[in-house]
Structure 1
């Protein structure tokens, strides 16, 4: 699940038989495990992942337009079909007239779907930026253009944004953040293995191809090398993905004059006014990567202006490409889709435009989605499950042997002040000031997208110095995901994830607790992982640990790092235990809490006993393994290991189990079995 600390900065088993004397008709059971997807004749003690998913793994093929396939993309595809139907019917709804937020979403989608319009417009909208870039003649001109680009949503060199202050989560502060890289992260520029070198070579060729297709004047290959030169400088000055997880290191408050001293080439007061910042509200701003900002100054001083122009032009082309004509979209996919993710073909235009519409104006159509797909019974059932998970986590904290009573008191205070949001927001977002064009001389998918970028930036930047709106959601109701926000001390579960395979309010409780229950527990656990544990019950980055307890927590975390470091994803590609630590703590704590939550449910509602030949505890663990079943293309798997704080699905499925005595008891796992982990190597944190 998403961990949004900084949004800038997610068999051969017999079924249960009817008893003698019962009617021969099959006894009606609540929805549960899909037995046909399990592995035939696979011993759960030896290979639990195949035991739970063997037939699915053998029969499933990754769609040509996907880099991986499993529970999340399956549900996303199902959800996309629902949303496309909603968009189609909403377009005919007279209640959604001009000016309504729903109509804006409908119009945005319709313009995006007009491929004929996209071909007619081509790359002509980029000319306004190319003219300004070509006209640059001084550092003052560069500063002014950077302000305009950033205000319009482009991100060369660095960026600015507003969100809650890490030390005072009630107030929004101004952050200056690193940016401007075309490859996924720093590691892609610095690793010296053959695959990384190959990707860099292909990236330079891609930049040249795109600049040529966009009609940028000059030697495309030479321009591409200029881009790589500048991006290399920025990458070397950036934090590694693992370093960026050290949240306190990102908190570097200083006055504007302090930033002026740190990065003197830019006249920061003028720049900030240029992007729309009210300097009267900025006593202090926060620089997330001071070393990076020093490099920005060095680049401005040491790199020829013509090279900087080429870098700026690339930034525009790269960000705009997916909203232009098919030639640009296809060329962009050839690198980022095929080379980086290994995907064979693009997703249908309707799904791509829908995804963009959701990102721009998602809550407008999310209101319709919720009304049609999320019954009150589903929310009530989910709330009951959350209650049991909270009770389970409370009990687990109280029973921790390694934590002092002093720290337990603070942990419980944080838990008891956790806000839970389920389904959809109580207050919907207002899109009245967003302009969406659907006719006229100059309208296009790209122009609407650029309007949206500018609108999003302006809406964000005007919040500097204002109270944090804690009613706002960071995801739309139709998003298949969930998240923990440490600055609000909240867990959030959009309506879309409260569906099979994660959740079915009419299903067997054990299957639900192994799916959605563990997801809920995972998000609760994020409040106590290596990052979330730095924040107190109010969402402030305040230490609430004793020194000895923090040391014991870190020792246990290091054991989990070592466990995941040993998981081999591909030849010479291993999971990064430090990068994935927060999510792995979330999985371990979440599944433990889900197990205990199920016991609370069974005590209150009765134990149904065997279903499909499995106990409730066995069904819970099988359900957990099924939600993480995933097939990957090699390129996608490699990219995930290098960039994603989530471990690949096959390791999420089995990693927590090998640390849990309850799993060993459920499947009678003993020393000598493949999944046995010696007791001294097992990790118990929460």
Structure 2
């Protein structure tokens, strides 16, 4: 995936148009490349990101409402706060909308989020039913049933279930069981001893105490109670690096075996209320289930109830009165990521509506902003990348003919989706009402849960999209062996019809190449042409690949983003391989496009080779707070933007040639130390 992962198994800015409630206005051209972004005081061979982007960074400080500010975020803001805003507000002004129509759901959800008078008046009464259930828990079995019910509403507990294609039989959906329940998001937040991480834990304790005080809950020192429990839970969990291994996290068992692995926990009560019916399931980690259940058994029931109350409050804090919303923002946005202020309520209403009703909105977005002709253009780009990838496979010196044959088979089987779904789902059964924001969230979440449960044991719907059309992102799904490019990302600076080919190849073609390469990264390479977890490598070739990956892991692991915070090369290896591969594929696809033609002339003094790398660099211009950067390093499989620009360059002879770099320059490595995988 290009930006942020949303599934451990499945994944991996300019302003084009202004929009008012009345409709679109004239498009504004975006420069192919803005020379004012360049800092000519920095040599491209010393710090390419600084050379390409320092001018932009100086002129684009992080807004107080953001923790990071870059090309993707700016385009996302345009898609949501201009384009979607215009669509939503044009619907919100209508009257007499029929119940269950997408327009009624959009209008009434939007209105419910903006109705702060009703939200303040209701307080936390929308949660009273579930608070009462938690208070009435008498046994661990009672607790299992209650947290199972809360799972249907999106409230986390110690373990959770999901439904996805079976990694070893990708045509059929299976149930997966995994770890969950860490409020801070990742195990390292409970283990690291540096001052900044210790401060996060201290602030977390204060945050929990404040939330309980605001709710009028009687528990004493709930923050320390919850931190102590979650620390014990965290130490039982796999790290985010260990979760990257699909072989070790695929443990298929009979469903009844859960009772043998963890007899202390009432699995029947937990799963029955979720309507989970299956004979088998796949566990991430058997030991976690066993040891986690023992931890629950040894934990005072009062602690589990306190923890569950916080999970409930935290899940819905953004939909409760302002005092809860503000405190939730203070900790999770300001302390954790460095954001200084909330977005205006109206912009948050747009984003929340998009989060709940993203696909119905996506239908309207795609119709208005992504013409059918664009699909054909992107399809041609994808096929160009496929052709070049095949040529690159043939040229590999470290791979045998036997494995090359299988790699070609997988490459040929790649499918793709562009822009938006061909068929749209029916969301009419979601009950959305004005004045009932929390209930709207619960109803929408329950709909998604019910939809997911219906998939168990059924054939996989290969046409399903995991992102909405307006999303500024892209992904590769190894279980479908497909690449997906939503309409939202097919805009400047990733793709600009006014740019010359070199800039676009450094942008959108490198993005396409990035997603293709995910099919052959450390995770994707373990899935075959049909999307099954199966080894298709010779032993020697796999050893060669792993050796190259190890070298790239070690290379990134030496890069320090902040004092004491080096990039986790093992966590980011998939995305780093994809960036390196995407750049390589795009470069040679561009070169191939010039065959039989005169070499393009320089533009603004830059050769086509240089413009290609400028195109890549501007895609990743970004300013980021220290808090957000620390969070990214600990939780995100993507390297920070600066290192996505600079990281691959020393390994690309094409870069050194384009910019005439010399031995000893920071962006140059001796040939023997370069990593060339695809």
1:87 to 1:5, Cα distance in 2 relative to 1, 3 A: closer
Inter-partner Cα distance in structure 2 for 1:78 and 1:607: 36
Query: CA offset at residue 35 of structure 1?
Result: 1.0
| Residue correspondence of structure 1 range 195-210 to structure 2 within 5 A | 195-210=196-211
Over residues 205-256 of structure 1, what are the superposed CA-to-partner deviations in whole Å (9 max), with x where a residue is unaligned? 111111111222332x2x2222122211210100111111112111111112
Do the aligned residues in 1 keep the contact of 2:154 with 2:315 (CA within 8 Å)? Answer: no
SS of aligned partner of 2:595: helix
Query: CA offset at residue 90 of structure 1?
Result: 2.7
Over residues 630-682 of structure 1, what are the superposed CA-to-partner deviations in whole Å (9 max), with x where a residue is unaligned? 11111011110111000000000011121111111111112132322111110
Inter-partner Cα distance in structure 2 for 1:195 and 1:225: 18
Over residues 423-448 of structure 1, what are the superposed CA-to-partner deviations in whole Å (9 max), with x where a residue is unaligned? 0011112212211122xxxx421111
1:578 to 1:637, Cα distance in 2 relative to 1, 3 A: same
1:249 to 1:356, Cα distance in 2 relative to 1, 3 A: farther
Inter-partner Cα distance in structure 1 for 2:406 and 2:75: 38
Do the aligned residues in 1 keep the contact of 2:114 with 2:349 (CA within 8 Å)? Answer: yes
| Partner residue, 1:44 | 44
Determine if the alignment matches structure 1 residue 63 to structure 2 residue 55.
no
Inter-partner Cα distance in structure 1 for 2:410 and 2:97: 43
1:173 to 1:606, Cα distance in 2 relative to 1, 3 A: farther
| Partner residue, 1:347 | 343
Inter-partner Cα distance in structure 2 for 1:218 and 1:207: 11
| Partner residue, 1:478 | 470
Inter-partner Cα distance in structure 1 for 2:596 and 2:175: 49
Determine if the alignment matches structure 1 residue 389 to structure 2 residue 388.
no
Determine if the alignment matches structure 1 residue 175 to structure 2 residue 171.
no
Inter-partner Cα distance in structure 2 for 1:42 and 1:312: 53
| Partner residue, 2:296 | 300
Q: Structure 1: which 5+ runs fail to align? A: 11-28
Query: CA offset at residue 47 of structure 1?
Result: 2.0
| Residue correspondence of structure 1 range 32-431 to structure 2 within 5 A | 32-80=32-80, 81-92=82-93, 97-219=98-220, 221=221, 223-278=222-277, 282-431=278-427
Query: CA offset at residue 88 of structure 1?
Result: 0.9
Q: Structure 2: which 5+ runs fail to align? A: 13-28
SS of aligned partner of 1:254: strand
1:145 to 1:374, Cα distance in 2 relative to 1, 3 A: same
Inter-partner Cα distance in structure 1 for 2:95 and 2:411: 46
1:363 to 1:681, Cα distance in 2 relative to 1, 3 A: same
User: What's the RMSD between the two structures over aligned residues?
Assistant: 1.8
Determine if the alignment matches structure 1 residue 533 to structure 2 residue 534.
no
Inter-partner Cα distance in structure 2 for 1:193 and 1:595: 41
Do the aligned residues in 1 keep the contact of 2:92 with 2:111 (CA within 8 Å)? Answer: no
Do the aligned residues in 2 keep the contact of 1:277 with 1:461 (CA within 8 Å)? Answer: yes
Over residues 535-565 of structure 1, what are the superposed CA-to-partner deviations in whole Å (9 max), with x where a residue is unaligned? 0111110011111001100110011111111
SS of aligned partner of 2:463: coil
Inter-partner Cα distance in structure 1 for 2:207 and 2:596: 60
| Partner residue, 2:634 | 642
SS of aligned partner of 1:170: strand
| Partner residue, 1:465 | 457
Do the aligned residues in 1 keep the contact of 2:10 with 2:478 (CA within 8 Å)? Answer: no
Aligned pair partner of 2:436 in 422, 440, 444: 444
Inter-partner Cα distance in structure 2 for 1:128 and 1:98: 26
1:417 to 1:200, Cα distance in 2 relative to 1, 3 A: same
| Partner residue, 1:6 | 8
Query: CA offset at residue 93 of structure 1?
Result: 5.8
1:423 to 1:607, Cα distance in 2 relative to 1, 3 A: farther
Q: Which moves more between the two structures, 147-156 or 229-238?
A: 147-156
Inter-partner Cα distance in structure 2 for 1:174 and 1:273: 14
Q: Which moves more between the two structures, 263-272 or 302-311?
A: 263-272
Do the aligned residues in 1 keep the contact of 2:8 with 2:243 (CA within 8 Å)? Answer: no
Inter-partner Cα distance in structure 1 for 2:322 and 2:213: 15
Query: CA offset at residue 379 of structure 1?
Result: 2.4
Do the aligned residues in 1 keep the contact of 2:100 with 2:429 (CA within 8 Å)? Answer: no
| Partner residue, 1:503 | 495
SS of aligned partner of 1:182: coil
SS of aligned partner of 2:452: helix
Inter-partner Cα distance in structure 2 for 1:9 and 1:658: 27
Query: CA offset at residue 353 of structure 1?
Result: 2.7
1:9 to 1:511, Cα distance in 2 relative to 1, 3 A: closer
Inter-partner Cα distance in structure 2 for 1:125 and 1:301: 31
Inter-partner Cα distance in structure 2 for 1:162 and 1:566: 37
Over residues 373-414 of structure 1, what are the superposed CA-to-partner deviations in whole Å (9 max), with x where a residue is unaligned? 112333222222111111111111111110001111111111
